[in-house]
Amino acid sequence: AAGVIQSPRHLIKEKRETATLKCYPIPRHDTVYWYQQGPGQDPQFLISFYEKMQSDKGSIPDRFSAQQFSDYHSELNMSSLELGDSALYFCASSLRGDSPLHFGNGTRLTVT
Amino acid sequence: GQQLNQSPQSMFIQEGEDVSMNCTSSSIFNTWLWYKQDPGEGPVLLIALYKAGELTSNGRLTAQFGITRKDSFLNISASIPSDVGIYFCAGQASGTYKYIFGTGTRLKVLA
């Protein structure tokens, strides 16, 4: 079965650069979530979208923005990167927001 | 904000033993999910719970949605080496899309 696809798998950026992470949800899933997971930490909710509209917002820094496009894929844009932004970034998708989340394999972002 | 306390934080067990872990919250949740995560990989859904008191099994795994809607537990029976990993609970409150994750239980199985 098709799963959540994230790209790139790994990304190395320097401080103050920008990064764009992409997420392609499971076909027919209309809700996308972004989570940030630091080393040894639990996933922290950043933001979610339902039917291309922001549905919930968590601890997403103002330097980050995200959107969901007409084909339901989502992009997380990160600007003015800081060393502390180094983490695994997971995208998850679900159907209607009230069904279980299915996660991608994440993007490992390293900021140097 | 909402917090999910998961315990134990880590467990070392012998192969064949049963394992139990739980999550508690100060808030009421409408949905509880249990995930397993291997290093560098995304969390994989194990069990989903939607009703207070619900008891659901998935092979050697059994999970229950607490009656108060503020807790859930996961049991693994007859553990095997491939059960090694980090187990997370996640809860979703009414009127919100986001799932809050527990702090994780790190399981190690000794052969």
Q: CA-CA distance, A48 to A70, in Å (whole number)?
A: 15
Q: CA-CA distance, B102 to A73, in Å (whole number)?
A: 27
List, for residues A43-87, the tens digit of each pLDDT value: 999 999 999 999 999 999 999 999 999 999 999 999 999 999 999
Q: CA-CA distance, A8 to B26, in Å (whole number)?
A: 37
Residue in chain A lying closest to B97 (CA): A97
CB contact under 8 A, A31 and B97: yes
- Mapping DSSP to helix (H, G, I), strand (E, B) and coil, where does residue B82 land? helix
Is residue B57 predicted with pLDDT exceeding 60? Answer: yes
What's the confidence (pLDDT) of residue A31? 95
Task: Please say whether the beta carbons of A47 and A29 come within 8 A.
Answer: no
**Neighbour-count burial of A86, counting CB atoms closer than 10 A to its CB (0-12 exposed, 13-18 middle, 19+ buried):** middle
Q: CA-CA distance, A17 to A111, in Å (whole number)?
A: 9
Q: How high is the mean pLDDT of chain A?
A: 95
The verdict on B90 touching A (C-beta cutoff 8 Å) is yes
Report the DSSP beta bridge partners of residue B99: B92
A8: preceding bond cis by omega (within 30 degrees): yes
Q: CA-CA distance, B108 to A17, in Å (whole number)?
A: 39
Q: What is the mean pLDDT of residues B3-8?
A: 91
A103 contact residues in B (CB cutoff 8 A) = 35, 42-45
Q: CA-CA distance, B37 to B54, in Å (whole number)?
A: 24
List, for residues A82-110, the tens digit of each pLDDT value: 999 999 999 999 998 778 999 999 999 99
CB contact under 8 A, A43 and B33: no
Report the DSSP beta bridge partners of residue A109: A11, A87
Sheet with strand A64-68: strands edge to edge: A5-7, A19-24, A74-78, A64-68
List, for residues B77-88, the tens digit of each pLDDT value: 999 999 999 999
Taking only residues 4 to 63 of chain A, the set having a beta carbon closer than 8 angstroms to any beta carbon of chain B reads 4, 31, 33, 35, 42-45, 48, 50, 55-56, 58
Please state which of the ranges B41-45, B59-63, B85-89, B95-99 shows the lowest mean pLDDT. B95-99
Q: What is the mean pLDDT of residues B78-104?
A: 94
